[in-house]
Amino acid sequence: MKHKTSAVRSLLGWLLLAACVVLAAWAALEGYAPPARRSYAATGRTTDAQPIPVQTGEIPVNSADAAMLDKLPGVGPATAENILTERELNGPFYYPEDLLHVNGIGKKKLEDMRDMLDLTEE
């Protein structure tokens, strides 16, 4: 009889431990929300992004036409059209680094134009 009691206590102990682990995991995940993500539909890429405009220069990238975008350093007609296409496919640019997804814009070109960028939504 003593052997059965010991086995039952051992089983109950393991069940209690398992329940504690499950409850601790549930409590740790309670209220967890994944960060916002920006989707690049044309490429299938995503990037973490919070929609907070951070630049207010002289060229409003989120509303400018190709002629106005052409005024940015290192941007010609082809790159201006690429910016318009990216904006149309994936929505507004929130960070200057979002422009790195545009074909024809690299880190150097982005640094050259950074101070001229206005990333507010209009």
For the segment 77-95, what is each residue's pLDDT rounded down to a tens digit?
999 999 999 999 999 998 9
Are residues 29 and 87 located together in one domain of the fold?
no
d(CA 49, CA 95): 8
Are residues 19 and 73 located together in one domain of the fold?
no
Are residues 43 and 71 located together in one domain of the fold?
yes
Q: Could you give the 3-state DSSP secondary structure of residue 46?
A: strand
Are residues 42 and 93 located together in one domain of the fold?
yes
Number of domain units in the chain = 2
Q: Tell me the pTM.
A: 0.56
For the segment 16-74, what is each residue's pLDDT rounded down to a tens digit?
888 878 877 776 776 655 555 565 566 666 665 555 545 567 899 999 999 999 999 99
